[in-house]
A and B are shown apart, each in its own frame.
Chain A
Amino acid sequence: MRWCPSLLLFGFLAAVNALSSSGNRLLVVLEDAEEKGSYSTLWGDLEGRGYNLIFESPKNEQLSLFELGDRAYDHILLLPPKSKGFGPSLSPKNLVDFMNSDGNVLLALSGKSTTPSAISSLLLEFDLHLSTDRSSVVVDHFNYDTLSASDKHDVLLLPRPGSLRPDTKNFFGGEGVLAFPSANPHTLGDNSLLAPILRAPTTAYSYNPKEDSNSVEEVFATGSQLALVSAMQARNSARFTLLGSVESLQDKWFSATVKAPGGNQAETANRDFAKQLTAWTFKETGVLKVGKIEHHLAKDDITVEDLNPSIYRIKNETVFSIEVSEYNYDRFIPFTVPTNDALQLEFTMLSPFHRLTLHPTATTANSTIYNTAFTVPDQHGIFSFRVNYKRPFLTYLEEKHEVTVRHYAHNEYPRSWKISGGWVWIAGLWSVVGGFLAFVFVWLYSVPASSVAKGKSKKMQ
């Protein structure tokens, strides 16, 4: 239901060629108005995708993320502050509140300045860790841009990220090389809500350029432990992305020519990556929507009354189907499950009795219908059809539909004569009935044959 407003909006703004699935009010927090110019391509791209950019300085005291208790913006893009923090209106608590009410945040940092401790504590809320001195820079003596950083080696050249795991969808892939100037690295805690988007190369390490030492002996983290871009998708599917290098968004690096040591000159793909990153963070991609959910008994002629019954019997053959769409920049498209992954249905009472893979059976213009058939367990109680699809980079699906599972009714058991084991007792019962009738007959009409009895009864007279 919450998609409806955005769909309506989409109808009104058909001229705009793309739009986030969750609103277009984007707050850009930029301390230095002069810097605005160096990101003009990014602003142009965002506006071209339908965002309404609102530039604010963190020093602005009127700035408030909420208006009358409701979100005043749909998304926030935070550029690193020059001063000691973002100010009271953008305190970690306010930003967490903003995310709790489904707002998305993209936070860019820079290795050039010390990150304020307020930001560090905000990141700790999400289990993202900066180095303790908060002013580290990633260097890599093997993958740097020889044209712009031949001496300092702090412009990292990286291939576009592949998929995080074999079973996840890759929203950030593509051709080309990414340049990450003076990136501020971070590490990720052990948290299933977190996912790294871009890691540093194996040979990279971080150091504090302010420390004057010949060689680095204490490292915060090395190699692929260092993440340059990471995503945190909260339980309400609000998205937070941490970008280590704000400079990578600048016009200068959107179309720079770089050359790795021993490599050829190449154009950077930063602009494309920035589009993917902002699109993902602001919910233009990776947004799943559930359409119809239907479950019914497995039989051929299904009428409307047969759909989604509230009660099933044990051992019923049941069919469950769910319609899933994925939002892709400007519209919903049929959702396909990544290879090696599976959309699973659980039939649970406290714990799952069945956990089955849902297979795609039909595709509509903007959705895929997945279904599976199974036999209701031989256990009565309150069960629920549960689809709990939580994957990195995709908004979480959690559907729960309760049904009652009852026992056989009295007239649903096989009749006794159909069970050969019971024949003896059936015969016994009817023998008793037959014997009773015969006995009644005998009792009523039997003449005492023995003379003894006759004599006896005569004597009685």
Chain B
Amino acid sequence: MPTKRPSATPSSAPSPSPSTTPPTTLLSGPKTLSANASVSDIACNVWNQYLTTTPQRTMLLDAFMAFLVLVGGVQFAYCVVAGNYPFNAFLSGFCAAVGQFVLTASLRMQTSPSGSGEGEGNKSFSAAKAGKVVGDRSEGVKDGGVSHERAFADYIFGSLILHFFCINFIN
């Protein structure tokens, strides 16, 4: 994986970048990497890239996802250490964390500019190229994808159902 990263990151990063981030920060990323960069260099680069290219709203979302990972991880560790005696409680507690993580991940994919980059970015490109000046990228998405708010509404709906099932199951 690490060997592929250098080639993968630059190729995927530039595609959404022109419209979203200043080119200087973008270019600084690939520049520091050479073909035989060390693993730590690559990791640092990826981290810097993340810090610089990710919008704050997406980072809040990522923090929430990290929180979920932490909660799920602690629950799993407890299961390993102390046994799974009320097994349904373990399943619902752990599945609540995992399910919330998955839902949040899909929300991130639908709302974050970098996460949804591949499909939407290209679309916005084509839209921009076609001369249709659109204020926001999501405006252009509307015809094919979903708006951020619609995605958020779906997210809330899904989360409530998840919570219902988990509470039902934990007894």
Contact = CB atoms under 8 A, between A and B. Distances in A.
Consider the complex of A and B and state whether they touch directly, i.e. have CB atoms less than 8 Å apart: yes
Interface of A: 410, 413, 415-416, 419, 421-422, 424-429, 431-433, 435-436, 439-440, 442-443, 446, 448-450, 452-453, 456, 460-461
18 contacts: A416-B86, A416-B89, A419-B85, A425-B78, A425-B90, A425-B92, A428-B71, A429-B96, A432-B68, A435-B67, A435-B68, A439-B64, A443-B57, A443-B61, A443-B152, A448-B55, A448-B56, A452-B56
B171 A428 contact: no
Contacts of A425: 75, 78, 86, 89-90, 92-94, 170
Interface in B123-171: 135-137, 152, 156, 159, 163, 166-167, 170-171
Contact of B71 (A431, A452, A460): A431
A432 B96 contact: yes
Interface in B63-111: 64, 67-68, 71-72, 74-75, 78, 82-83, 85-86, 88-90, 92-94, 96-97, 100, 104
A432 B89 contact: no
B93 A460 contact: no
B39 interface: no
B86 A461 contact: no
B55 to A, nearest CB: 5
Contact of A436 (B19, B20, B100, B170): B100
Contacts of A427: 93
Contacts of A413: 171
Most chain A beta-carbon neighbours within 10 Å: one of B21, B72, B92: B92
Given A419-B85, A429-B92, A433-B163, A424 B152 contact: no
B156 to A, nearest CB: 7
A429 B170 contact: yes
A181 B143 CA distance: 118
B55 A453 contact: yes
A429 B82 contact: no
B35 interface: no
Nearest to A440: B156
Contacts of B88: 416
A436 B171 CA distance: 21
B88 to A, nearest CB: 8
A461 B135 contact: yes
Nearest to B81: A424
A349 to B, nearest CB: 26
Most chain A beta-carbon neighbours within 10 Å: one of B88, B96, B104: B96
Contacts of A433: 96, 163
A217 B28 CA distance: 123
A435 B71 contact: yes
A426 B55 contact: no
A449 B56 CA distance: 8
Interface string B23-49: 000000000000000000000000000
Nearest to A449: B56
Nearest to A431: B71
Pick the 4 closest A-B CB pairs, nearest first.
A425-B93, A422-B89, A422-B86, A428-B93
Contacts of A456: 20-21, 55
B163 A422 contact: no
Nearest to A411: B171
Contact of B93 (A415, A424, A439): A424
Contact of A428 (B20, B94, B135, B159): B94
A382 B82 CA distance: 36
Given A440-B156, A460-B137, 12 more contacts: A415-B171, A419-B86, A419-B89, A425-B89, A432-B100, A436-B163, A442-B60, A443-B57, A448-B56, A450-B56, A453-B56, A456-B21
Contacts of B55: 448, 453, 456
B136 A460 contact: yes
Nearest to B166: A429
B96 to A, nearest CB: 5
Given A421-B83, A433-B163, A435-B68, A460 B170 contact: no
A303 to B, nearest CB: 31
Nearest to B135: A461
Contacts of B67: 435
A446 B60 contact: yes
